[in-house]
Amino acid sequence: MAWTRDEMAARAARELKDGFYVNLGVGIPTQVANLIPPGIKVTLHSENGMLGMGPFPYEDEVDPDLINAGKQTITELPQTSYFSSSDSFGMIRGGHINLSILGAMQVAENGDLANWMVPGKMIKGMGGAMDLVAGVPRVVVVMEHTEKGGASKFKQRCSLPLTGKGVIDLLITDLGVFEIDRKGGGVALIELATGVTLEEITAKTEATFSNRLK
Amino acid sequence: MQSKVFSDATSALAGILRDNIVVMSGGFGLCGIPENLITALRDSNVKGLTVIGNNVGADNHGMWAVLANGQIKKVLASYVGENKILEQLYMNGGVEIEFNPQGTLAERIRAGGAGIPAFFTRTGYGTVIADGKETREFNGEHYVMETGLVADVALVKAWKGDTEGNLIYRKTARNFNPMMATAGKITIAEVEILVEPGELHPDQIHTPGIFVNRIFKGGNYVKHIERLTTRPHDNATGGNA
């Protein structure tokens, strides 16, 4: 037993706070948009130049001039604003976006993140990921705990080229939740996923962590 | 003074294109790309181009056509997926790609246009992007030096423009276009609607005409959507969410 992708997204949604400006990456993080807790206001940022992303359009509302960073058609809201890419990354680099939730290939116990290239495979590019993890004050990663072959993706050191060095604050996997001190103060396991034991998560984790389960 | 207005993309590019020049091209994916100028650039057959843009088109669309025509030597971009010809050319050494973090690329262009030769950013510190670059510590944080970018010609797409070259963009089709407009030694803008001075509200102009050397009204916009994503109407079928 472990968390499903939906349950991982739901756990990530608990990191949202009232008034937050949030950037969501592709994959599981995108699902967080549908799970914003009732009673709080969250404004979604799209790095191609938009604040206040609305839902996907109805078929008769589709506008090719209105897409998100994943190049999907979307809609605007009454509070929406548009701006250039340099203003957009000024928001990111300048620390104005409160929270970034994104996926990963590997995470290390020192807060390093690798999610943009695998040597020997075609490199597609990092897009805005390096800017997001370097500029946003709180970075949450959502990823599967292990590779398909069973190897831990939460490592002592990343073996893949880095997206950012010492940039992650919280790691949510299908097995549990870890707090990471990006200044090198170590990792603490703070939650276990439904049906997961401390023994199982310990056996499947290469990174060193302390137990702060309540 | 000679008019900035040209009749079409080919005449707007006349006398500007040569082999081995640096070209900036606006857009994010296929949103807000200068479609008419890209087609005219392909038809010009100039070679050895260095192209600066967030992407290099996508299969069968946008700057892909210039790439497929063998005109591009080097690309500066942040993301080049969904482009099989670029993948082949990159793997066999036919084209060089310099990957830039998207925000760094945007800021390099903004800096270039604003006369700033270099700046420091936290982005990419401790990664391969910082290899060979100067780094510095400010207030206990590490920063990487990145240089400003300018181009021989910048190709931009706006929604509305006037004959003075003032531009207004529409929704997320703005993206890289405003910075690129400032960073071209010569900037050419194509617009969907071209009006006389006074018809655009001066408070709402995104790119002042000083940055634009040539302007024309483009036609036949395809505006291909890469990922059409919709939601169904309540109590109705359809939509391919």
Looking up residue A97, the CATH number of its domain turns out to be: 3.40.1080.10
Q: Which two tokens stand for residue A19?
A: 């008034």
For B188-227, letters b (16+ CB in 10 Å) and e give bbbbbebeeeeebeeeebbbebebbbbbbbbeeeeebbbe
DSSP state of B151: E
Give the Cα separation of B20 and B43 in Å (integer): 16
Give the Cα separation of B176 and B184 in Å (integer): 13
Instruction: Tell me which amino acid residue A210 is.
Output: S
Is the minimum CB–CB distance between A124 and chain B shorter than 8 Å?
yes
Encode pLDDT of B175-230 as tens digits.
999 999 999 999 999 999 999 999 999 999 999 999 999 999 999 999 999 999 99
Considering only CB atoms, which chain B residues are within 8 Å of A47?
102-103
Is the Cβ pair A134, B224 closer than 8 Å? no
For chain A, helix (H) and strand (E) counts, in that order, are 5, 13
- Answer whether residue B233 is part of any domain: no
Element (H, E) at A177: strand A176-181
Give the Cα separation of A146 and A153 in Å (integer): 5
Q: Nearest CA to CA, how far is A160 from chain B (Å)?
A: 10
Once rounded to an integer, what is the mean pLDDT over residues B91-111? 97
Which of A15, A47, A109, A179 does the annotation list as catalytic? A47
Q: State phi, psi for A35 to the nearest 5 degrees.
A: -125, 25
Confidence grade of residue B241 (pLDDT, cut at 50, 70, 90): very low
Residue B92 has pLDDT above 80, yes or no: yes
Is the Cβ pair A82, B172 closer than 8 Å? yes
Is the Cβ pair B31, A71 closer than 8 Å? yes
- Answer whether residue B129 is part of any domain: no
Number of structural domains (chain A) is 1
Residue in B24, B99, B123 to test binding to A, most A beta-carbons within 10 Å: B123
Beta carbons of B176 and B54 less than 8 angstroms apart: yes
Q: Nearest CA to CA, how far is B2 from chain A (Å)?
A: 30
Encode pLDDT of A14-41 as tens digits.
999 999 999 999 889 999 999 999 999 9
DSSP state of B13: H
Could you tell me the strand order of the sheet in which A154-155 lies?
Answer: A113-114, A106-108, A154-155
User: Which of A123, A23, A128, A87 minimizes the C-alpha distance to B54?
Assistant: A128
Q: Is A164 helix (H, G, I), strand (E, B) or coil?
A: strand
Residue B113 has pLDDT above 80, yes or no: yes
Considering only CB atoms, which chain A residues are within 8 Å of B90?
122-123
For chain B, helix (H) and strand (E) counts, in that order, are 6, 11
Beta carbons of A85 and B54 less than 8 angstroms apart: yes
Is the minimum CB–CB distance between A110 and chain B shorter than 8 Å?
no
Once rounded to an integer, what is the mean pLDDT over residues B1-11? 96
| Closest in A46, A50, A55 to B231, CB measured | A55
Number of structural domains (chain B) is 1
Is the minimum CB–CB distance between A71 and chain B shorter than 8 Å?
yes
pLDDT of residue A183: 85
Encode pLDDT of A68-96 as tens digits.
999 999 999 999 999 999 999 999 999 99
- Answer whether residue B187 is part of any domain: yes
- Answer whether residue B168 is part of any domain: yes
Q: Nearest CA to CA, how far is A57 from chain B (Å)?
A: 5
Residue B233 has pLDDT above 90, yes or no: no
Interface confidence, given as ipTM, is: 0.96
- Looking at chain A, the whole-number percentage of residues with pLDDT higher than 90 is 94
- Answer whether residue B126 is part of any domain: no
Which residues in chain A land under pLDDT 70? none
Beta carbons of B59 and B83 less than 8 angstroms apart: yes
pLDDT of residue A122: 83
Residue B144 has pLDDT above 80, yes or no: yes
Place of tokens 């699902």: A31
pLDDT of residue A134: 98
Residue of A nearest to B234 (CA): A58
Whole domain around residue B182: which residue ranges? 9-117+149-217
pLDDT of residue A1: 78
User: Which 150-209 residues of chain A touch chain B by CB within 8 A?
Assistant: 161-166
pTM value > 0.80:
yes
| Closest in A55, A72, A89 to B103, CB measured | A89
Encode pLDDT of B149-159 as tens digits.
999 999 999 99
Q: Which two tokens stand for residue A111?
A: 């807060």
Q: Nearest CA to CA, how far is B38 from chain A (Å)?
A: 18
- Answer whether residue B144 is part of any domain: no
User: Which of A73, A194, A97, A89 minimizes the C-alpha distance to B107?
Assistant: A89
- Answer whether residue B227 is part of any domain: no
Considering only CB atoms, which chain B residues are within 8 Å of A120?
none
Active site residue A7: no
Considering only CB atoms, which chain A residues are within 8 Å of B29?
48, 67, 71
Question: What CATH number has the domain bearing residue B206?
Answer: 3.40.1080.10
Whole domain around residue A52: which residue ranges? 5-211
Confidence grade of residue B97 (pLDDT, cut at 50, 70, 90): very high
pLDDT of residue B240: 38
